Structure 1
Amino acid sequence: MASGADQFSLRPDPRRRSTGRGAHVHPTPACLESALRRRAFGRALRITGVIDTGELTGAIHGS
């Protein structure tokens, strides 16, 4: 996750090497869509504001 002024970006970290808070989601489109629909990332990461999921969505749909 990268952040800046109430805007957050979710990034995949398949090697689990990034520092900071993270959230696990199965790398399947169905699980991603469910997490987005339930707004699970905001709760799991304890953040409010805009969450850009483009990079994560691209990685999951591209895998």
Structure 2
Amino acid sequence: MIKPGKTLGAAVMLAALLVALSGCQKKEGPVEQAGKKVDEATQKVGQEIEKAGDKIQDATQGDKK
């Protein structure tokens, strides 16, 4: 049979370990931040190109009607 004191102690130690590990996450450096900005900009450009393509397609469909 498991004693309540041991269970509580194990839970406290597990919680302390989780808090310690979450504090060890590596911070992003300037290169990683710049990379994220490039990714976001690339995604925005891709969306704008897709919108332009849709407009061109809609315009050509309108001429066919």
Question: Per residue, is there more helix in 1 or in 2?
Answer: 2
Query: Greater CA radius of gyration, 1 or 2?
Result: 2
Please, what TM-score do these two structures have when normalized by structure 2? 0.22
Please, what TM-score do these two structures have when normalized by structure 1? 0.22
Higher relative contact order (CA 8 A, sep 6+): 1
Question: Per residue, is there more strand in 1 or in 2?
Answer: 1
